[in-house]
Amino acid sequence: MTDAPSDQSGSTPDRTIPPWFSRAVALVAGWIILLVALGWAVLRLRSLLIMVVVAFFLSLAMEPAVDALSRRGWRRGAATGLVLGVTLLIVLAFLAAAGSLVVGQTQDLLDHAPRYVREAERFVNDDLGIHWNADPLVRKLRHGRGPLPSNDQLVSSAFDAVFIVGRALLEIVTVLIFAFYMTADGPRMRRAICSRLPRKRQEVVLDTWEIAIDKTGGYLYSRGIQAIVSAVVTSLFLFAMGVPYALALGLWVGVISQFIPTVGTYIAMVLPVLVALKSSPVEALWVLLFLVAYQQFENYVLGPKLARRSMNVHPALAIGTVFAGGLLLGGVGAILALPATAVIQAVISAYTTEREVIEAPLTHDPALDREIEKAQAKADATADASGDEPRRPFRRRGSQSKRADAPPATR
């Protein structure tokens, strides 16, 4: 009995490489090479990219003032130069006042540190009833300065200082040049970008750009108002307490506490307390208590009212983004984190749909109900005073609740 001939065509596997495999390998290799080159370029150009980002936010902040001047007949170049020059004068005036104050007070503190320690010792022992012997600390302050540096060390330190200052000035000038051209040529730059995009993309780019200008201006508005209020109130309090340099210290507290996120408040408190400590520890304690109390007033009364009109960022989100910006870009990232977060949040809100929230114990907030009732009462009072028709019940944005007389929706 003979076996049937087997089909040899299906017994041997097809070892031919698919035609798409080589193209896929080449495509993956190309993407890997491109990403590696891009990462190398980003690392090399990191400082330049940071300067461009800073210049972009600075141009967003100057845009409203430049637009207002251009509508009055100014050329954009001249308007940008004026706004940038005024900004630089304000910054330089603050740096000059604060720098001379910090240097003078630091040198005075180093020269008279033993006497201040003795005064603190008398305050602690006599007024607080705590027995503290400050003799070891006084001896260390008087004899712990060490030998003077050699000439080579002085030359090396001076060279390092000149290099650091020169690099910082070069970066500042570069940022200012970028910011000037981004603002002066803003319309032409936006037209050049939009000319490469379809119409729908152009609308998205322009809307996003406008949101960024509004939110950055709102950030500077809220911070500027809080800085002015803080500077005036602090200066008046320090002047009433008889603390020297009251105006300069108030300006220091107002600017540092507002434009250095998270830790700026604590940095700003140190200098007024140290200056007041020269007079007496009791005076320094009063200054510290005042600054802490004013900070609470700013956090819970003044800040939320201004932020509600300018930049609606939750405090937890603000703290998280500040730390994230600091870890990514250092101090510059920490300063730019809040306006960047506000812009991203506003863009997401503009291009996403807000849905009706299910009423449940986890979503119910009595404070929100009270705010709605207050808003409705205010609207009714306004309608009664003007003699208009009563307004519709106040509803939260995005709510899908219907009026009683509205026709039923068709399915």
Least confident of 38-42, 160-164, 261-265, 336-340: 261-265
Give me the pLDDT at residue 210, please: 87
Q: What is the DSSP letter of 126?
A: I
- pLDDT score of 283 more than 90: no
Give me the pLDDT at residue 406, please: 42
Q: Provide, rounded to the nearest whole percent, the portion of the chain with pLDDT above 70.
A: 71
Q: What is the DSSP letter of 260?
A: S
In this prediction, residues 373-380 reach a mean pLDDT of: 74
Q: What size, in residues, is the chain?
A: 411
380/392 Cα distance (integer angstroms): 9
* 206-237 confidence digits (pLDDT tens): 888 888 888 887 777 778 888 888 888 998 99
Instruction: Tell me phi and psi for residue 72, to 5 degrees.
Output: -90, 5
Least confident of 112-121, 272-281, 364-373, 400-409: 400-409
Give me the pLDDT at residue 4, please: 52
Q: How sure is the predictor about 92, in pLDDT bands with cuts at 50, 70 and 90?
A: confident
pLDDT winner (highest mean) among 101-105, 160-164, 384-388: 160-164
Compute the radius of gyration of the chain from its Cα atoms: 32
Give me the pLDDT at residue 227, please: 85
Q: Provide, rounded to the nearest whole percent, the portion of the chain with pLDDT above 90.
A: 6
Q: Domain residue spans in the chain? A: 50-137+164-350
In this prediction, residues 364-374 reach a mean pLDDT of: 73
- pLDDT score of 310 more than 80: no
Is the overall model pTM greater than 0.85, yes or no?
A: no
80/374 Cα distance (integer angstroms): 44
Q: Which residue has the higher pLDDT, 255 or 319?
A: 255
- pLDDT score of 178 more than 80: yes
- pLDDT score of 177 more than 60: yes
299/297 Cα distance (integer angstroms): 6
Give me the pLDDT at residue 397, please: 39
Q: How sure is the predictor about 82, in pLDDT bands with cuts at 50, 70 and 90?
A: very high
In this prediction, residues 292-320 reach a mean pLDDT of: 72
In this prediction, residues 258-283 reach a mean pLDDT of: 80
Q: How sure is the predictor about 396, in pLDDT bands with cuts at 50, 70 and 90?
A: very low
In this prediction, residues 325-352 reach a mean pLDDT of: 78
299/315 Cα distance (integer angstroms): 10
Query: Buried (b) or exposed (e) across 370-406, using 16+ Cβ within 10 A?
Result: eeeeeeeeeeeeeeeeeeeeeeeebeeeeeeeeeeee
- pLDDT score of 268 more than 80: yes
411/407 Cα distance (integer angstroms): 12
364/407 Cα distance (integer angstroms): 28
Mean confidence (pLDDT) of the chain:
76
Q: How sure is the predictor about 34, in pLDDT bands with cuts at 50, 70 and 90?
A: very high
* 38-56 confidence digits (pLDDT tens): 989 888 888 888 888 888 9
- pLDDT score of 196 more than 70: yes
Give me the pLDDT at residue 31, please: 92
Least confident of 8-12, 181-185, 327-331: 8-12
